[in-house]
Amino acid sequence: MELATPRHIGGKEGEAMKSRGTTIWCLLALVLGVLVATAAVLTILKDSDFFKKHRTPSHPINKNYADALQVTLQFFDIQKSGKLVDNRIPWRGDSGLEDGEGNLDLSKGMYDAGDAMKFGFPMAFTATVLSWAILEYGGQMNAVRQLGYAQNSLRWITDYLINAHPSETLLYIQVGDPELDHKCWERPETMSERRPVTQVNASFPGTEVAAETAAALASASLVFKNNDPAYSSSLLMHAQQLFTFADTYRGSYSISIPQVREFYNSTGYGDELLWAASWLYHATQDDSYLRYVTELNGQSFADPETTTWFSWDDKLAGVQVLLSRIIFFGSKDMPAIENIHLQMYRKTAEAVMCGLLPDSPTATSSRTDGGLIWITEWNPLQYAVASAFLAILYSDYMLTSQTETLYCSGNSYKPDDLRNFAISQADYVLGANPMKISYLVGYGSRYPQYVHHRGASIPVNAETGCQDGFKWLYSENPNPNIAVGAVVGGPSLNDSYSDTRNNVKQGEASTYNSALLVGLLSGLLKTSSVVLSYT
Q: 495: closest CA among 357, 411, 377, 409? A: 377
Instruction: Kindly list the distances between the CA atom of residue 26 and the CA atoms of 3, 21, 33, 490, in Å, as whole numbers in the listed order.
Output: 14, 8, 10, 68
CA 248, CA 265: separation in Å to the nearest integer?
Answer: 21
On the 0-12 / 13-18 / 19+ scale of CB atoms within 10 A, 373 is: buried
The helix or strand, by DSSP H or E, that contains position 172, with its residue range, turns out to be strand 170-175
> For the residues of 256-325, what is the DSSP string, one character each?
HSGGGHHHH--S-SHHHHHHHHHHHHHHH--HHHHHIIIIITHHHH--TT-----SSS--HHHHHHHHHH
Residues contacting residue 452 through CB under 8 Å, at least 6 positions apart: 113, 114, 501, 502, 503, 504, 507, 508, 509
Alpha helices in 311-409 (DSSP H): 316-329, 336-356, 381-400
From the list 54, 165, 238, 452, the catalytic residue is 452
Cα 271 from chain centroid (whole Å): 18
Rounded to 5 degrees, φ, ψ at 408 are -125, 100
Give the Cα separation of 467 and 140 in Å (integer).
Answer: 46
Q: Which residues of 377-416 are buried (b: 16+ CB within 10 A; e: fewer)?
A: eebbbbbbbbbbbbbbbbbbbbbbbeeeebebeeeebebe
Contacts of 322-329 spanning 24+ positions with Cβ under 8 A: 322/132, 322/275, 322/278, 322/279, 322/282, 323/278, 323/293, 323/349, 324/349, 324/394, 324/397, 325/397, 326/290, 328/397, 328/398, 328/400, 328/401, 328/403, 329/397, 329/400, 329/401, 329/532, 329/533
Q: How far is CA 187 from the centre of its chain?
A: 26
452 belongs to the catalytic site: yes
Contact present, 439 and 448 (Cβ < 8 Å)? yes
Sign for the pseudo-dihedral over CA of 392, 394, 400, 404: negative
Provide the 3-class DSSP secondary structure of residue 222: helix
Nearest 5°: phi and psi at 237? Answer: -60, -50
**Spatial CA neighbour of 182 closest among 520, 466, 474, 489:** 466
Distance CA 196, CA 18 (A): 87
List, by residue number, the catalytic residues.
Answer: 452
